[in-house]
Structure formats: structure tokens, C-alpha cells
Chains A and B, each alone.
Chain A
Amino acid sequence: MYSKGLAPLAAATVVTVTAALSMVFFYAPNDADQGFVQKIFYVHVPMAIVALCGFIAGGVFAIRHLRSGDSSWDLRSYVAIHMSIILGVGVLVTGAIWAKASWGHWWVWDEPVLVSFLVVFLLYCVYYPLRFSIEDPGRQARYSSVFAIAAGAFVPLNFVAVRLAEAYTHPRVLSQTGGSMPGDMRLTFLVSIAGMALLFVTLWKLELTAKHASMQLKRLRNRARVAA
């Protein structure tokens, strides 16, 4: 069910991620201002974008769950949020490394992009205790979906709020005027985003497959116990 198309997707992920890494180190030039340290950008920003999209996708799946009552949508929502939190850890750690290299500090509290991502990350950290404190599976799925929708709506609002903030330190890479990156850097960045998105979808499908198989096995065991 969930494993459909997983093998070609995994192959596409390997090819795209390899291409992205090759382009980062052998094609994209060093940044005139930051130098070699700017290479962190190609892993940090795509991870952040994909993590935020994953949180929004979790909200969209949660809407489908509440509309249809189909628990498979809740599972999709849970795994999307779970994956995004893992990527979120990567974003915060690589961001701290980049901050130390660029600004001399591991964390800068007056940087709106950093702090807003931390707020979103901490918001989603509440999802686990909320979900696993409810034993009844139906209620657990419903309450988790409501949380996923509310938090998912907060993500784009947060993004807009940061864009409206006055102080910009991060480069504008996807603005309507074309951003501030030269063509080769922009292409490398887009391939990096594609690789990260494919990696996210592959691992999401892989975890869904494992969780679905585990649930089926549990059902099979119960049936065998009843038959015995």
C-alpha cells in the first residue's frame, strides 16, 4: 500500500542527493562575502524549507483525516510531522554551526529567522506528549489532527511574519525579483532542495510502510490468538 513506487523513488533520491553534493563542492562558486563557509547554506536552508513544508503537509493530512475519518491519513500526518521534527533538529544544529562560523556565536537571539524556526520546532515538540498521552486510538488521532491543523496554519503565518520583519541577515533566495544569488548558486540550491524533498518523501514512505506492516502484524497476532 505505502511501499508502492518506493524503489524508483529511493533511486531518484540517491541520484539527486549525489548530484546536489557534487554541485555544492565542485560547481557552485565560493560566496564573495562568506567564502567557503557559505556551503552550509545548501544543506541548512533546504532542510529548513522541507521541514516547514512537512509540517504543513502534516496539517493537510490531518484535515483529510478529520473529513474522512480514515485513520491512514492520521498515520500520514504523524509520520510527516515526525520526519519534519528530525529535519528540524538538523536545521537547528547546522544553523548553529553556520552562525558560529559567520558571526562568531552559536546562537543569535535577535535573528528573526533563527528564533522563529526555534518557536515552530518547540511548538511541534508538544505534538508527541499530546499524542501519546491519549490511550484511545480514535481520540488520539482526532486530537493529534486538530493540533496538526492549528500548528500547520501557524507555519506560513510565521514565515510571512519573518519576511515582514525589518532586519534581514539571511539572503533572500526565492523572492519575486529573482533573489540575490547568481545563476550557478541558484541552480545548486534548487537541486539541493529537490534532493532534500525526495529524501523526505522516501523516508516518509519507508516509515509509513514499516508502521503499516507493524499494525498488520499486530492484527494478525490478535486473530491467531482468538483462533487458538
Chain B
Amino acid sequence: MPALPLDEAGKYVAGAYVVFLALVLVYVAIIAAKIARLERQISELVPSENDE
């Protein structure tokens, strides 16, 4: 198959890199949500200075 022209090839290349970036971003977002939940649970467990 001959090489695709730049305007058509660009869509495929962009698609591949967007897939990669989306995977990383979704993964980081899930981990960030997990860490935020952990932080909330820790603050529930440890009384704040105002409560003491």
C-alpha cells in the first residue's frame, strides 16, 4: 500500500497519540480520585484541631 498523504496520515497519527494520552490521563485521574478519597477517610479518622 502506498504511503498516505499527510492530511490523511495525520488523523491516524493524532488518533494513536490521543489514545495514549487518554489512557495516561484517565489512569492518573483514577489514582488522584483514590488518593483524595483516602485523604478524606484519614481526616474523618483523625480529629481536627478544632474538635480537640
Q: Do A and B bind each other?
A: yes
What residues make up the interface of A, taking CB atoms closer than 8 Å to B? 21, 31, 33-37, 39-40, 43-44, 47, 86-87, 89-90, 93-94, 97-98, 100-104, 199, 203, 206-207, 210, 213-214, 217, 220-221, 224
Chain B residues near A224: list those with CB within 8 A: 45
What's the Cα separation between A34 and B6 when bound, in Å?
A: 11
Contact between chains at A100 and B12 (CB < 8 Å): yes
Interface of A is mostly: helix
Interface of chain B residues 1 through 37 with chain A (CB within 8 A)? 1, 3-4, 6, 9-10, 12-13, 15-17, 19-20, 23-24, 27-28, 31, 34-35
Are B16's CB and A98's CB within 8 A? yes
Residue of B nearest to A199 (CB): B24
Contact of B27 among A39, A86, A98, A213 (CB under 8 A): A86
Q: In the complex where A103-B1, A203-B27, A220-B45 touch, is A36 in contact with B6 (Cβ < 8 A)?
A: yes
Nearest CB of B to A100, in Å: 7
Query: Are A104 and B38 in contact, with the CB atoms below 8 A?
Result: no
B31 and A90 contacting across the interface, CB-CB below 8 Å: no
- 9 residue pairs of the A-B complex, CB under 8 angstroms, read A37-B9, A39-B13, A44-B16, A47-B20, A86-B27, A89-B23, A100-B12, A203-B24, A213-B35
Question: When the two chains form the complex, which single residue of B13, B17, B45 contacts A217, counting CB atoms closer than 8 Å?
Answer: B45
Docked Cα-Cα span, A97 to B12, in Å, equals 6
Q: From B6, B9, B17, give the contact of A43 (CB < 8 A).
A: B17
Q: A35-B6, A40-B16 are in contact. Are A210 and B31 (CB under 8 A)?
A: yes
CB proximity of A168 to chain B, nearest CB, Å: 17
Complexed CA–CA distance, A104 and B2 (Å): 11
- Contact of B41 with A206 in the complex, beta carbons under 8 Å: no
Q: Which residue of B lies closest to A17 (CB)?
A: B24
Residues of chain A contacted by B45 (CB below 8 angstroms):
217, 220-221, 224
How far apart are B24's CB and chain A's nearest CB, in angstroms?
Answer: 7
CB-CB nearest in chain B for A46: B20
In the complex the two chains form, what is the Cα distance from A207 to B23 in whole Å?
Answer: 15
The answer for the CA separation of A34 and B4 in the assembled complex, in Å, is: 7
C-alpha spacing A3/B13, complex, angstroms: 35
| Given A44-B16, A86-B27, A101-B4, A36:B38 Cβ within 8 A | no
Contact B42 A217 (CB under 8 A): yes
> Which residues of chain B are within 8 angstroms of A47 by Cβ–Cβ distance?
20
What are the 9 closest A-B residue pairs judged by CB atoms, nearest first?
A35-B3, A101-B12, A36-B9, A94-B16, A40-B16, A37-B9, A97-B16, A39-B13, A90-B23
